[in-house]
Structure 1
């Protein structure tokens, strides 16, 4: 649930480590393929550099990274992948943005509509909820990897707009054009990064009770089970008390 690191660690995914790992590999490889379509020149393609860094962070093997680049540049077959964003609503009126990377536009739109309906949501028209989100670069770093003073100094000097302290993480946000510079600043300082990616940050959030959160998390799970889904962003929020309740189950 990129863009919502505050509650991304809710234990509704326990027991799915292997499935999650496979999904991470698929997602990382597809992002490399898409990024490499612009250019396979890593030095002059910031998106490709970020995609490769993200792939390494989830331990995608080197040969799979190289093959993904070649698929994107057309050297290997399998690069006919399209980026599409679907918009909709979930339980409680929560806004949803679904980013997919698919080789079959007709199939994926039918699957997304079916999944939303199954999870008590519905597909929206283009533009129906996108205006509720801001496009930002987002970097997540474990709090035990860096001091508050260091994260502030490095982040703000590199171009970060906002640094949010959460239970276990620092959530660092910046303009999309500054993501590479901010990520590089922390890496060059020897600080481990959990994730660095483009995210859709909601301008306002809808707070859900435990029952509403369960329904929404189930819908997110259903969407993320689709191999073509790259990211799911929502304007859902849950209180600390509700998070504790969900974690206890």
Structure 2
């Protein structure tokens, strides 16, 4: 498949800049891209014109407000695509299904779907918040991050298994099963899971949740 070289370089530049917490100089960016500095200046000028890149007081490059605007527009599109996946997961497991995201040190519920045959519902609602280290949804997100020697055992276990199972951490008697949604290095930390008060087959739920996570990952990648 043929690609447009200039656009490809611009997108690569954005990716490189996004991975530089303290910013990156034009010379460093040119070296990373393998292009002459004059070409790099033109790439940067184009990105600046669209507010995708900005300069710090020291002249280093960082992502601009335009990148945040694009991200804010992506979220509704992602959730729209996630709705049928979540509805199917809820019916498949006969449990409340949800998508959650990391926001600072907290885990926030973005979307919830109830099974069509639900008789009892768990109090897990859109906007619900809890610490990342509590509950299957937050632990699954932490397991997506690079291993750290300070990781607690539940995070290590979730990383090994590909999903997290917790009992009674957020609500007495509630069992949660969650898997992180891979995003190929993007700063989009999400998990998908189910929660039920009783009768949840955790083995089947884990398989269904991992499958849903793979399907949601394709929404992020496309």
What TM-score results when the alignment is normalised by the length of structure 2? 0.29
Higher relative contact order (CA 8 A, sep 6+): 1
Higher helix share: 1
Larger radius of gyration: 2
